[in-house]
Amino acid sequence: MDPLFSFDPAIMSVWARVPTMSNDRESTAVRRMILTALSGDHVSALTMCQTEVDEKFRRRSEIILSALWHEVRHFADTLLTNYGAAQTRSFQSAAINTPALVQEALATGGRLAIPVTAHLDRVRRVARGLPEPTPDMVVIAKDIQGRRWLTDRDARVVTSGDVGSAARIGDSGCQAASAT
């Protein structure tokens, strides 16, 4: 599947691809509508849809605009929720620590296990032929391990006496739970 819009939480951006339309006029109109919405002028973007005379094209434009707003909502959820803040910190931590991990790996034989937490487990390290991790690699791997533990903890089954149990599965469940 090739989505028209996709939110990338690692760089806090909404990626957009202009869809193929029936003719040049429709392609130009949709491109203008998308750019207008992405620039923050949602009222004008919606007006562009609603004033379209071709009903089939108007409905398709409304669906496209709705899909864009759906992805923009992910952006807002990421900014405004505890889960989003934690996710953003994890991406920032990965971006900040990657160069140091690569340098540490080069200094100890040029091998870096993915996931990095494999460096903390002697059995996994020996099975992969990895050298002893440096102190800096241990600190970074433990940070990643701790963040993973928090994410796994949020994805657990929660039991309530009156309601029963409810499971939050993966990132989508954590996003939904933190957005409410």
Q: Which of 80, 104, 133 is the last residue of a domain?
A: 80
Q: Using the predicted structure, report yes or no on whether residue 41 has a pLDDT greater than 60.
A: yes
Residue pair 176/156 in contact by the 8 Å Cβ criterion: no
Long-range contacts of 134-142 (CB under 8 A, 24+ apart): 134/104, 134/107, 134/108, 136/100, 136/104, 137/101, 137/104, 137/105, 137/108, 140/97, 140/100, 140/101, 140/116, 141/116, 141/117
Q: How far apart are alpha carbons 172 and 106 in whole angstroms?
A: 36
Give the pLDDT score at 130. Answer: 85
Phi, psi dihedral angles at 156 (to 5 degrees): -80, 170
Place of tokens 């701790």: 146
Q: Using the predicted structure, report yes or no on whether residue 165 has a pLDDT greater than 80.
A: no
pTM (two decimals): 0.60
Residue 174's pLDDT band (boundaries 50, 70, 90)? very low
Q: Using the predicted structure, report yes or no on whether residue 66 has a pLDDT greater than 90.
A: yes
For residue 166, the enclosing domain spans: 82-179
- CB-facing half-sphere around the CA of 179: CA atoms within 13 A: 14
Please give the tally of structural domains in the chain.
2
Place of tokens 């203008």: 32
Q: Which of 35, 64, 80 is the last residue of a domain?
A: 80
Q: Which of 24, 46, 80 is the last residue of a domain?
A: 80
For residues 128 and 152, state if they share a domain: yes
Q: Using the predicted structure, report yes or no on whether residue 166 has a pLDDT greater than 70.
A: no
Residue 64's pLDDT band (boundaries 50, 70, 90)? very high
Q: How far apart are alpha carbons 41 and 114 in whole angstroms?
A: 43
